[in-house]
């Protein structure tokens, strides 16, 4: 079997983007790690340092003491950081600026697609957004920086200033379902696209991992850009095993060269 060079692969994907009208980008932790945000499942990741059972919604609701513990885990895990987008995020935003992007579907909770310049209405966050804190009683949402200013875990967990309700990061904990409207929209866009690009996801977390399958079944081409192999590589039209922050900018440079 002929082994293609990275240059050839980048050229093929660039041509796919140019030929497509409705591109969906599906991103996972491999994009965030290049911005300094720790992965959950990789060796040395968050679940190697913390017990995932501590992040269940049931435990979060059970007592103030447990909530203090969970907030401390969140602050010490590296998830609450002022991270910045990396070249992969910028390249994905460039696809939108070309007018090709249908949407970004992301498993990440770091708000970096927003910071990179993608339109909020084109970002579907399957696991929520760590940049927002929600009151479980009155549903009021606070920006994370507002809560960080008054976070004093020595005095107990933070509470809602409007109703004294429990505050929780607006992300999906274990034991919670993915937001149904967001998931429905993500599935619909994946079934309507003509090209789906997986960037930085090992495709092991379900039901999110089905997103590229829906696209392929509907007739779209699928590209996977991930540092390691995935179980869906065989169904993909092109697989590039490299860092997203290195490959995605090169793909978009090739696109611009062809357009120019």
SS (HEC) of 65-110 = HHHHHHHHHHHHHCCCCCCCCCHHHHHHHHHHHCCCEEEEEECCCC
Query: Measuring CA to CA, which residue among 10, 38, 8, 6 is closest to residue 197?
Result: 10
H/E element holding 190? helix 180-192
Q: Which residue, chain included where needed, has tokens 């992969």? A: 88
Distance CA 143, CA 110 (A): 13
Which residues are 223's β-sheet partners?
197, 238
Assess contact for 77 and 44: CB atoms under 8 A: no
Q: Give the phi and the psi of residue 249 in degrees, each rounded to 5.
A: -60, -35
Distance CA 109, CA 164 (A): 25
Catalytic site residue from 113, 114, 127, 189: 127
Establish whether 189 is a catalytic residue.
no
Q: Would you name the residues annotated as active-site residues?
A: 127
């Amino acid at each position: 079997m002929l082994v293609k060079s990275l240059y050839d692969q980048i050229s093929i994907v660039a041509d796919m983007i140019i030929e497509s009208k409705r591109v969906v980008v599906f991103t996972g932790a491999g994009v965030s790690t290049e911005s300094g945000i720790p992965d959950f499942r990789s060796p040395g990741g968050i679940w190697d340092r913390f017990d995932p059972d501590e992040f269940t919604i049931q435990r979060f609701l059970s007592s103030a003491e447990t909530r203090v513990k969970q907030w401390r885990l969140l602050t010490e895990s590296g998830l609450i950081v002022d991270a910045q987008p990396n070249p992969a995020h910028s390249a994905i935003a460039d696809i939108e600026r070309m007018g090709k992007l249908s949407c970004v579907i992301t498993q990440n909770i770091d708000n970096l697609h927003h910071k990179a310049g993608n339109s909020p209405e084109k970002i579907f966050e399957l696991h929520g957004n760590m940049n927002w804190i929600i009151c479980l009683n009155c549903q009021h949402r606070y920006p994370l920086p507002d809560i960080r200013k008054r976070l004093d875990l020595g005095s107990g967990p933070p509470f809602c200033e409007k109703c004294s309700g429990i505050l929780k990061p607006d992300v999906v904990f274990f034991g919670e379902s993915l937001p149904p409207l967001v998931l429905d929209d993500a599935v619909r866009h994946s079934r309507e696209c003509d090209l789906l690009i997986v960037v930085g996801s090992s495709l092991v977390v379900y039901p999110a991992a089905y997103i590229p399958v829906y696209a392929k079944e509907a007739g779209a081409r699928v590209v996977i850009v991930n540092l390691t192999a995935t179980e869906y590589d065989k169904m993909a039209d092109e697989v590039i095993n490299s860092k997203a922050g290195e490959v995605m900018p090169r793909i978009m440079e090739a696109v611009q060269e062809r357009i120019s």
